[in-house]
Structure 1
């Protein structure tokens, strides 16, 4: 599997958001982070993609509730197609952001070096106000309100992550 249009290897900083099935949390984060990149003028400097630890949704759109929550907040998540994370991607990524401890364990187990294990970070760890919660809940078995709640968590943490990356990008060094 290739990165298709989702990873510009020439970018200064490359991020992959990884959840379980790549139809709820990680596509939300990808869309939110792409919007931050676009609005800040860093298209081409930071590239972002998303994937899942499992393969059961590969090729599918995001969950309809994900798309609806994104649309309600002014984002377009309609183009997303789920894919599974490939451990060979580690070498081309600077950061692999996960949403819960289960994904963290899986990705760190798939990493073949300490350097790659160190790339795996929990999303909420970037936001001091949410870090104590540790996990972003999976809204899949819940209602539309939970999707909105999760999107809010992702927006806040993504902005905190972006603010940590942005000074290095501005200087031209990741």
Structure 2
């Protein structure tokens, strides 16, 4: 069964493109039939590449984010994707406000897919400069999601 997943953060230059890259990489390694994308709740960086610090951390871990470009989430995403994951509660609130009436696409915090207890929200590394820690969180959640989908 094929599944499509959208990862969402504020600007679509740090957390959500990293989640997309990590999840896509792990899914390909596992031979999983998934499609994924990422988007931001804001339009601040539309068309721009991921933050250079996110690109560097991903590259250090063997994942290439350079082909990704920021975009803003749209109401149509709720029909294009089977699952939508926000990185923090603010993202979830903005997604719920954008949700078309009657749409039932599941929307959840991405770290809810972690196997053990952990933080509920992915901190924004743009401000905290904690790209390695965020990468680790997103990797754990990606592994948990893949295990659940298997």
Q: TM-score, normalised by structure 2?
A: 0.94
The answer as to 2:76 corresponding to 1:92 is no
Deviation at 1:127? 1.1
Counterparts in 2 of 1:37-48, with a 5 A limit? Answer: 37-42=27-32, 45-48=33-36
The answer as to 2:12 corresponding to 1:22 is yes
- The answer to whether the 8 Å contact 2:49/2:68 transfers is yes
Measure the CA separation in 2 of the matches of 1:112 and 1:31.
27
Partner of 2:56: 68
The answer as to 2:69 corresponding to 1:77 is no
Gaps of 5+ in 1: 1-10, 167-174
- The answer to whether the 8 Å contact 2:78/2:103 transfers is no
Quote the RMSD (CA, aligned, Å): 1.4
- The verdict on how the C-alpha distance between 1:119 and 1:59 changes in structure 2, with shifts beyond 3 A counting, is same
User: Rg: which structure is higher?
Assistant: 1
Measure the CA separation in 2 of the matches of 1:99 and 1:56.
17
- The verdict on how the C-alpha distance between 1:97 and 1:69 changes in structure 2, with shifts beyond 3 A counting, is same
Q: Which residue of 98, 116, 126 corresponds with 1:129? A: 116
Residues 86-129 of structure 1 show CA distances to partners (whole Å, capped at 9, x for unaligned) of 1112112110011100000110111124543x511101111142
Gaps of 5+ in 2: none
Q: TM-score, normalised by structure 1?
A: 0.82
Alignment length (residue pairs): 150
Find the residue that maps to 2:44 and give its secondary structure. Answer: coil
